[in-house]
Structure formats: structure tokens, C-alpha cells
Amino acid sequence: MLKRRKFLKAVGAALATGISLFSTRRAFSKSGGMGAHGHEAHSQPEGHAHMPMAKYPPIAWADPNIPISPPPRLMGRQMGKIHTLNVPPLGFEMDGDIKVFTLIMQPVKRFLTTGGAPHPVVSEIWKRNNPYVHHMKVSKEVKLWGFNGSVPGPTIEVTQGDRVRIMVKNELPEPTSIHWHGLEVPFEQDGAGGESQPPIPPGSTWVYEFTVHQVGTFMYHSGYNMMKQDHMGLGGFFVIHPEKSNYMIDKDFAIMLQAFALLPGNDSPDLVTMDFNWFTFNGRVAPDIELMTVKQGDRVRIRFANLTMDSHPIHIHGHTWKVVGTEGGPIPKSAQWPGNTVNVPPGTTRDVEFIALAPGLWRIHCHKLNSH
């Protein structure tokens, strides 16, 4: 008997097809920013303009002279509302009225799949309805770049009107910065390395600080050498909740779309090709995508963000949602549109909402079936 609603994204390696399963159980019961130069107490980059770039080989995954720090103390502490599949939450500290977050940009080894068995619920249904499915016990561990030991990075959650400070430490083998994608912040806080700020040297710390006035689903990702660094995995969600909401969301999920080009036998992404062959939901492929459970009758929101080079039409089975938001913020109710497939172009976010009415194990997948 199916007791839980699952949301599983099965995504493809080179020859595999990506499918997500979505299951519902019956409801039995229940600014202006001071930035780096406004905080004398914090370590600041020096001598950015004359950094000897030869010290940081472009193919290096890690600098042996820079120790990799453990996750910050509040990594894994849920202080928000969103469930980001396979990614621990990130808590914050208060400095007066300022919410302070810590992000460490660092080399990360990530299992796209461990080769373990599918979730028991999935296995049970496959055995009953599709005896031709045989799980391949093949693992794939890759060398990526992430935040706080995770690819993608943890979701930052704040509330409209908050003053936010993000402490960023660079443990990568090359300079970097963070761009706050979609956020309306002062120029010096935009994170465009080499333009709005000097890039952050390896081993250094930079401070971003700004007040958020928008509402919606946004992103953060590398703002320097983006073609390389974004494709190494540097990205995450930045969500701004409204001060007041007209209705309640029972389950709020976030899914980052990322793609990697991995040659056979290679554990490092190929950064000079557009032939991506591993398409991931939050850095995982099937059967390692975390299952998600809701009750029948729950109002569900799913936030999609796309850091790949392709558009992805994401389709849900058995339900009809409404597209209620983009990286520009919430869509007025009169302009929302219904459907069961939403296209998520590169560099955008899409929020969808629906009522989970039909019990079952439902697929959610990219409808570019020839590749995903």
C-alpha cells in the first residue's frame, strides 16, 4: 500500500532517461550596502588588481595550500520554510537587526549517484508493475565546486525588508565572487567580479551586505569566470518571503537544474564542450533524488531554477499547476496561467503551485526526452 507521496527526479547519465516520480497519499489524518569595505573587523581582499594568475592553474580542482573547512556551524539548521531536495538548509545569526549568513566556496566531492537501491516504495511499484526494470548498481562521484560542502549550495531564506549580510570565504584555487541573480542591490554589492568589485583571492573573505525589498525566487552563483565556475557547480537559491501572505503553502520545495559534461571514466567536468550528459535535480540523479511526501489536499509550491545552458520543459503527471512566479517576482493572479508543463529557460526561475488531489506515485520530468 502506497503510504507516502514521493517526488523523485530520475535524471540521465549519458544513455539514461530522466524521470521524476511524484506520489500523494490520502489524507487519513493529519538598500545601500556597506559591503567589504564597511566592515573593518572582517578579513578583506588586498592587491586584487595585481594578482599573479599563474599561481592558480585553470585546471586545478583544489589548492593543497588552502585547507577545506567543515560546513559552517549553522549549516543543516532549518530556520526557513523551504525543503531543497538533497541539500541541507542554512541557518543565520543575528547581528543587531542584520541576518548574517556564511558561505564557503570550496572544492566538493559529490556523488551524483551512489549506486544504491531505489527507495523501497519505488522498488515495490516497479516490481509489481514493471518487472523489466533492473537497477544498475553504478556509482558516480565527481569533483565539483560548491558552497558549504554542497552542490548546489544551501538555500538562503530571508523576509522582505530584511537587512542581510553574507560572509563569503574563498577556498577555491582561483579568484571568484558571488552574483545575486535577480536581486535589486547597490552596484557595489552585485558581485560582478572585476566590475562591481575586485575578485576575491583564494584564502580571502569578502562581505556582502544589502537590504532586500523584493519578493520571490532568485539565485546566487559565481560572478567571475562564470563559464567555468558555474559549470563546476557554483549556484544556489536565494528566496525572499513576503512580510504577509494571503494564503498558506503546506509544502514548499526547491529544485535547481544543473548539467555536467562527464567523459567516461572521468571525475571532473569537461568545461570546453556543450555536450552535457548528466542532468541533475539538486546535484543528484536517479535513484538518489530525495523522495518528497505531501498529504492529499495539500497546497504545494515547487520552485525551479535553471543554471544549465538549455531550456527545460518540466512536466508533471496527474496534476495541473499554475505558474505563479518568475525571477522577476510573483505573477499577479489575473496573469497566472494553468498547465502541467512549464518551460524553465537558462538563468530563470519558475514557481508553480497546485493542490495535490490525486493519490499515487506521479512522475515529474524534463520533456526533452531525447536527452533527459
On average, the pLDDT of the chain sits at 86
Which pLDDT band, with edges at 50, 70 and 90, does 6 fall under? very low
Per-residue pLDDT at 70 exceeds 70: yes
Q: How far is the CA of 95 from the CAs of 64, 92, 101, 155, 166, in angstroms?
A: 34, 10, 11, 20, 12
Of the candidates 326, 331, 323, the residue with the CA atom closest to the CA atom of residue 218? 326
Whether pLDDT at 184 is above 80:
yes
The pLDDT of 111-135, averaged and rounded, is 82
Backbone angle region of 68, left / alpha / beta, with phi > 0 → left and psi within -120 to 50 → alpha: beta
pLDDT of 232 over the 90 cut? yes
Distance CA 105, CA 5 (A): 34
Statement: residue 25 has pLDDT above 60: no
pLDDT of residue 230 exceeding 90, the answer is yes
C-alpha cell at 268: 571532473
* Geometric angle at alpha carbon 306, from 138 and 13, rounded to 5°: 20
Higher pLDDT, 371 or 89: 89
Q: What backbone phi and psi angles, to 5 degrees, belong to 206?
A: -130, 150
- Count of Cβ atoms closer than 10 Å to residue 134 Cβ: 7
DSSP class of 131: T
The conformation of residue 160, written as its DSSP 8-state character, comes to: T
What 3-state class would DSSP assign to 4? coil
Residue in the structure block whose three cell numbers are 518551460: 343
Domain ranges of the chain: 7-29+117-129+247-366, 36-50+58-110+144-241
Q: Please compute the mean of the pLDDT values over residues 59-80 and round it to a whole number.
A: 94
Q: What is the pTM of this model?
A: 0.85
Strand ranges, E, within 66-162? 83-84, 93-95, 98-113, 140-147, 156-159
Q: Do domains 7-29+117-129+247-366 and 36-50+58-110+144-241 have the same CATH topology?
A: yes
pLDDT at 13: 31
CATH number of 7-29+117-129+247-366: 2.60.40.420
pLDDT at 45: 41
Q: Does 290 or 176 have the greater pLDDT score?
A: 176
Asked if residues 216 and 240 have their Cβ atoms less than 8 Å apart, the reply is yes
Contact indicator for 145, 106 with CB cutoff of 8 Å: yes
Q: Is the pLDDT of residue 42 over 90?
A: no
Average pLDDT estimate for 221-226: 97
Name the 3-class secondary structure at 148. coil
- What pLDDT is recorded for position 321? 98
Percent pLDDT > 90 in the chain is 70
- 365 and 314 in contact (C-beta within 8 Å)? yes
Residue 48 pLDDT exceeds 60: no
Domain 36-50+58-110+144-241 sits in CATH at: 2.60.40.420
57 pLDDT exceeds 50?
A: no
Q: Would you state the pLDDT for residue 192?
A: 97
> For position 226, what pLDDT does the model report?
95
Q: Is the predicted pLDDT of residue 151 greater than 80, yes or no?
A: yes
- As a 3-state breakdown, the chain gives helix, strand, coil percent values, each rounded to 5, of 10, 40, 55
Whole-number pLDDT of residue 369: 79
Task: Report CA-CA distances (Å) from 10 to 22, 259, 290, 323.
Answer: 11, 13, 10, 23
Per-residue model confidence (pLDDT) at position 116: 84
